[in-house]
Structure 1
Amino acid sequence: MAPRQTTPLVFNSPHSGRIYPASFLAQSRLDARRIRKSEDFYVDELFAHAVPAGAPMLVAHFPRAYLDVNREPYELDPRMFEGALPPFANISSTRVAGGLGTIPRLVAENVEIYSHRLPVAEALERIEGIYRPYHACLRRLIARTRVTYGMAVLVDCHSMPASVRSPASPVRPDFIIGDRYGTSASQDLTRSAALILQEMGYAVTRNKPYAGGFITEHYGRPAHGLHALQIEVNRGLYFDEERLEKKPGFDRLHADLTDFIDALIALVESDMLEVPLAAE
């Protein structure tokens, strides 16, 4: 996090964690390479300029395959566990059905993670010991920003497979900006963020196929001066998904995202968006 916050933006990278507990690897049927398929590879590095630019940035060090903080706290698949889940668990969401709950059953490409069922107690330990503290920290950052600046803009940073196509366009998107179809952020902010990237020469779409997950939906309250955007970066720009290596384009993309962060901070702080972004 920034030692001194100077802007109403807060950045978050919930899926770039790459520290895999040995006990987790022992539970998995996957090798150390295949289990990484769900990572948002190096997204924390791509957006790292946020910190010297004066914006706090929360980064997960635990991997998404182990625990997904971009879900409700108890989106759990009962087929994964030995023992009864608590009655308040959401066992019927579309994300649970797709194997991508709070404790995921699958990594990307629909590959099963575990070789056997897990104790329910272990799932609850991950949620109580990691998920809840992570969100408590994120809430504090957003609340402190809202009090200090009268508003807060959360930028939730992700990556997407190079194969992703938008149903709204035949062109492969370089970026997808999600605002839950206008409900999690000012549409002026969303349009302007997209325009910054488009003027750099990138293909940008909005909300399809990624409109934003739990974090964007949960923290975005534009009527109260709380705005949340999800940004998906196409891995084909910077990462070889077969070799799991950075491509030569990484440095250029990092430089462009440095400029994007500076432009977004200037945009939010400008008079141009003062009225649309102000709390009601």
Structure 2
Amino acid sequence: MTPVSVTQGTGPIILGVPHAGTFVPDDVAVKLNDRGRKLADTDWHIDRLYNGLIEQVTTVKANFHRYVIDANRDPTGTSLYPGQNTTGLVPLTDFEGVDIWDTPPNEAEVEQRRQAFHAPYHAALTAEISRVRASHGVAILYDCHSIRSSIAFLFEGTLPDFNIGTDNGTTCAPQTEAAVADICAAAEGYSCVLNGRFRGGWTTRHYAAPASGVQSIQMELAQSTYLKDEAAPWIYDAVKAARLRGHLASILSALADLTPTFGGTQ
């Protein structure tokens, strides 16, 4: 299993997919406990949900599971959300705050995983951002995520359907943020929030350089919007997904249409 899969397109948008992978090497799997081996915190089917929404999009997908190492965490281990419950570079617990390891990894194992999995994912993402920006003058990184809508360990109450993250407006131009927020707000039957509990992970923040032509934005979707149930066996609901995909396609198309306004070309 290669750590990362890349599908190159000629358009200005790059989809980052850090948490849809389910590959766990055998030497890691034997150290997980029974709870950890269920891989409950996967962004289930998020790659399928976004597949084919617009033409000529580039996709960079991590094939490994976040329990191996989290591709959307600072490789130094610095917390994304200081003072709030979260999971780290190699999670020690699941999203419920319950241990997932029989034998937690030591520092040497974490570093080995960083080199074998985390680094190749970000090398691929860096290369695609450079390629797209060289072609268009602009690259728009759209980071694709999903999570269960109710997880008391991480947040109170029920999560909105669309959770847009721009790190309080710092990772993209105001019109980029507005284009996404306006479509989500107008989506009938859906709720949305801008820079709420999830205001953009490490990937969104790390690559953002709006003044240099790299804009980034994170979308965290509530899994209730496209799964039959937010529980195993995590079944993709084609009817729910089809309705949601229409709005996601509108978002990506709007971002692509904005490219000329930033001095880029399509």
Name the TM-score class by shorter chain. 0.7 to 0.9
- 1:42 maps to 2:30: no
Query: Which whole-Å deviations, capped at 9, do the CAs of 1:159-215 have from their partners, x for residues lacking one?
Result: 1222269xxxx9851111100000001121112112223333121111101001100
Measured on the aligned residues, the alpha-carbon RMSD in Å equals 2.7
- Counterpart for residue 149 of structure 2: 162
Separation (CA, whole Å) in 2 of partners of 1:242 and 1:264: 28
Tell me the residue number matched to 1:226: 214
- When normalised by structure 1's length, the TM-score is 0.80
* Shift in alpha-carbon separation, 1:55–1:101, aligned structure 2, 3 A: same
Distance 2:21 2:129 in 1: 21
Q: Say whether 1:246 aligns with 2:244.
A: no
Name stretches of at least 5 consecutive residues in structure 2 with no aligned partner: 1-5
Match of 2:11 among 7, 11, 29: 7
- For 1:236, which of 224, 247, 254 is the aligned residue? 224
Moved over 4 A (4+): 92-99
For residue 111 of structure 1, give the secondary structure of its aligned residue in structure 2. Answer: coil
Counterpart for residue 129 of structure 1? 116
- Does 97-106 or 18-27 show the bigger shift? 97-106
Judge which range, 174-183 or 106-115, deviates more.
106-115
- How far is the alpha carbon of 1:38 from its aligned partner? 1.6
Task: Give the total of aligned pairs.
Answer: 254
Identity %: 27
CA positional deviation for 1:117: 4.1
Mapped to 1, the partners of 2:85 and 2:208 lie a distance apart of: 25
Opposite residue 16 of structure 1, the aligned amino acid is A
Q: Deviations over 1:1-29 (max 9, x none)?
A: 445x2310000110111122222221012
In 1, the alpha carbon distance for the partners of 2:163 and 2:173 equals: 16
| C-alpha distance in 2 between matches for 1:193 and 1:269 | 11
* Offset at residue 48 of structure 1 (A): 1.2
1:69 aligns with 2:71: yes
How far does residue 273 in structure 1 lie from its aligned partner after superposition?
A: 6.5
Structure 2-normalised TM-score? 0.84
Q: Structure 1: state its 5+ residue gaps.
A: 76-89
Larger gyration radius, structure 1 or structure 2 = 1
